[in-house]
Structure 1
Amino acid sequence: MIIKGLGIVSKIELAFFLMFIALIVWSFVTYLHVSFATITHKSAAKKGEEIWESKLSSVALRFGLIGNLCLAFLFFPVTRGSSILSLFGLTSEASIKYHMWLGHIVMTLFSSHGVCYIIYWIATNQTSEMLKWAKNDISNVAGELALIAGLIMWATTFPRIRRNYKLQKKIRVGNVRLISSRVLPCETLELNFSKSQGLSFTPTSIIFVNVPSISKAQWHPFTISSSSNLEPEKLSVMIKGEGSWSKKLYQILSSPNPVNQLDVCVEGPYGPISTNFLRHDMLVMVSGGSGITPFISIFRELVFTTETLKCKAPKILLISAFKDSSDLIMLELLLSSSGAPLEITKLDLQIEAYVTRENQPVANDKKSI
């Protein structure tokens, strides 16, 4: 189901989300019930406060305590290579939405925590507390600075602000050597990077790519199209020229006088711990345009399985839709740049390719290879 603000969620995800919200509400109400029971006119007068001011201080404190509870879970969903996520069959990429939900909850609670304390300090003439930086007690200035930084980061998560200011995250880098590229006429590239044989990854894994000569700040995720078993010394990705960054990269590599050296930084790969496609009798793969990329990695892995391990591979039905007939050439990427048709003779493969936006009729051939 699709829920505004949450995106695409399953019934199980929605149930756990509602249970987590219930935990937060129950904890907050319980905290207030216990603390309010100790606040009386006598205790408030001893501090020189009205009873509502004492209760407001208690509410502000409890907002912070509940915020810490949510903060404890905030980074678990996006911890790459986490053993905890693997226990639930999840990956960090698939769990990003949980991190986003928790982030909005955390910032709502901490913002309420800060606003309530500011109102409390103004009402009780304790505005000097806003400048308190105690060595042995709570440092209010540090909390205020952290809240301001959090609000700035929170603002950048909203699409309108991201579009207006083109904010990008910068993450750790690793330099790699681009050994070759394959340029297709449909504004599509296959980049081939060198890698050590000890670096292995599963089909459908992704890497983040940065090209400093285009933008030092922009990192883009791409699905790996190669197989670490079939091509142990190479890692490949397919990039379709859709946005300004990918089009600039295509222009650089497809120009009549291409650059002799292109500096590229990558992070990854990241993906599922294991995949077992052999347990199925048939694989039905449905893709649109450059969405064929993860299936290319699966296909090459099955080629390795049949050619090297001598195992029987499942039947494969690949259904692909493309905007124009020129995009059909992407199907050539099913074979590695050094591949030969003999590699797939043992696979029972059927490809159904459809062109959706071309006025002239295009022959639709269905062949079993």
Structure 2
Amino acid sequence: MFQWVDLGVSHFPGIISLAVGLLMWMTSLHPVRKKKFELFFYTHQLYVIFIVFLALHVGHFLFCVSAGGIFLFILNRFLRFCQSRKTFDIISIKCLSCGTVELLLSKPANLQYNALSFIFLQVRELSWLQWHPFSVSSSPLDGKYHLSVLIKVIGEWTEKLRGNILNSFEADLHLQPQTKITASVEGPYGHELPYHLMYENLILVAGGVGISPFLAILSDILHRTREGKSCLPRNILIVWAVKRSNELPLLYTNDLESIYPFFLDKLNLEIDIFVTQESQPPLEEGQVHEATNSSPPVSNSCSMSVLVGIGNNIWSGLYVISSTLGFVILLYLLDTFYINPYDISPWWYKGLLLLICMLASVFIFGGVVVGLWHLWERRNAARETCKDNRIMVEKMQHNEILAHMESCQQKLASSVNTYYGSRPNFKDIFGDISEKWGYVDVGVIVCGPLGL
């Protein structure tokens, strides 16, 4: 069992790979993953050991069976690594009364995404390894130099993030050094096809902070309607379930009125809100919940990398092609000048060499393309407006959103129906909509917990 043979399958590296795989599997079970997320996350960094000892265990011949999938993973991981090394500016931070945090992040003008995209966010003061996914709550038409995300405080990482933000805000009030926040992003990821623009009739079903991508959809539709761009949706129903009424300000984080003041004349918008854990409206209903705003010190003056995002198909294709060709070339050179002349026969050694060729082809050949890609995008970004001016403009735009908050709430009041102490009955809701809109094709998008 502990033999390490030259010809055939070596059992000892297989035992190590199996042990690591079982450990990763056990920590990925739902009870462990839910209660001990960090244990689940950190043990899955052992995938490197799993793959290396798998190659040593099965050798080059059998390792080729899984080499294709592993090679694609290496391609993706290296590109994400290159993007995530760059830190960027957090233009502003807003803490809502419900505990949700809104981040306004700086991005280059040539970074493209759509209204259903998501990002992975890392805050280095909290963890160097943890990356958490968040839906983008802004439309790409909201501004060329920023995007926003809504983060609900429900776990240890988000609690620490909110604590750092509040400490930074308190230090600013007392003229003390603020808590530094250094952030990096992977993404935005998402489909290149904007599904929300394919239907004239849309039903958006959200639970809690799941309203976030639908805010981006609404903003995107209003921008397109105002600018006369192609935009199919004309009837939109939002069904939003929340636990408590203090989450309602999430609906107004995007000022729809400031985007297109007369959008209700062009768009039939109806919003049904279900507050499930309150039987009646609170006494302060109708008041605007104040938010704590803070602009933390940024680590440098730059925006996120453009290496990942939609619209870069040419560079992405060159990256994949160059890495694949590099892999073939390295295999040929290795076989011609090393394996055959020196009569290399151990399976485990050939498996290790195969894995090294995969890594080297991505790092060397793919790395050259990534470097050229980065230089090209940086050159394009240099043609845009001065960075200091654009950050100031974005802050002014963000302040305008806050100033128009009350106006937006008043104009939307006629379109918003709030129900307390009940959950949405989708059979009745869909039945009423079919009578109101007629028997037409309807696009339904759902974002929220499984119990929704």
| Number of residue pairs the alignment of both structures matches | 239
Question: Shift of the alpha carbon at 1:222?
Answer: 0.8
For residue 283 of structure 1, the aligned residue among 202, 205, 213 is 202
Q: In structure 1, list runs of 5 or more residues that go unmatched.
A: 1-129
* Letter paired with 1:303: L
Question: Shift of the alpha carbon at 1:213?
Answer: 1.6
- 1:202 equivalent to 2:114? Answer yes
Q: Give the alignment of 1:130-209 within 5 angstroms.
A: 130-162=1-33, 163=35, 166-169=39-42, 172=81, 173-174=84-85, 175-209=87-121
Deviations 1:7-64 (A, max 9, x none): xxxxxxxxxxxxxxxxxxxxxxxxxxxxxxxxxxxxxxxxxxxxxxxxxxxxxxxxxx
User: Could you tell me how far apart the structure 2 residues matched to 1:298 and 1:184 are?
Assistant: 21
Kept in 2, the 8 Å contact 1:199–1:228? The answer is no
Aligned twin of 1:36: none
- 1:244 equivalent to 2:156? Answer yes
- 1:213 equivalent to 2:134? Answer no
Aligned twin of 1:16: none
User: Could you tell me how far apart the structure 1 residues matched to 2:263 and 2:94 are?
Assistant: 20
Aligned twin of 2:244: 324
User: Could you tell me how far apart the structure 1 residues matched to 2:150 and 2:21 are?
Assistant: 36
Kept in 2, the 8 Å contact 1:303–1:343? The answer is no
User: Could you tell me how far apart the structure 2 residues matched to 1:366 and 1:323 are?
Assistant: 20
For residue 257 of structure 1, the aligned residue among 147, 171, 189 is 171
Q: Give the alignment of 1:219-368 within 5 angstroms.
A: 219-254=131-166, 255-257=169-171, 259=178, 261-311=180-230, 313-335=233-255, 339=258, 342=261, 344=263, 346-361=266-281, 367-368=414-415
Kept in 2, the 8 Å contact 1:352–1:366? The answer is no
User: Could you tell me how far apart the structure 1 residues matched to 2:262 and 2:157 are?
Assistant: 34
Q: In structure 2, list runs of 5 or more residues that go unmatched.
A: 46-76, 173-177, 287-411, 417-452
Question: Shift of the alpha carbon at 1:341?
Answer: 6.0
User: Could you tell me how far apart the structure 2 residues matched to 1:304 and 1:316 are?
Assistant: 15
Question: Shift of the alpha carbon at 1:134?
Answer: 2.7
* Letter paired with 2:234: P
SS of the aligned residue for 2:95 comes to strand
Identity %: 33
* Letter paired with 1:368: S
The two structures have a TM-score, normalised by structure 2, of: 0.47
Structure 1 or 2: larger helix share? 2
Query: Are the structure 2 counterparts of residues 226 and 167 from structure 1 closer, same or farther at C-alpha, using a change threshold of 3 Å?
Result: same
Compare CA radii of gyration and give the structure with the larger one: 1
User: Could you tell me how far apart the structure 2 residues matched to 1:179 and 1:246 are?
Assistant: 19
Question: Shift of the alpha carbon at 1:151?
Answer: 1.8
The two structures have a TM-score, normalised by structure 1, of: 0.57
Aligned-residue CA RMSD (Å): 2.9
Kept in 2, the 8 Å contact 1:321–1:353? The answer is yes
Query: Are the structure 2 counterparts of residues 368 and 240 from structure 1 closer, same or farther at C-alpha, using a change threshold of 3 Å?
Result: same
SS of the aligned residue for 1:298 comes to helix
Question: Shift of the alpha carbon at 1:277?
Answer: 2.9
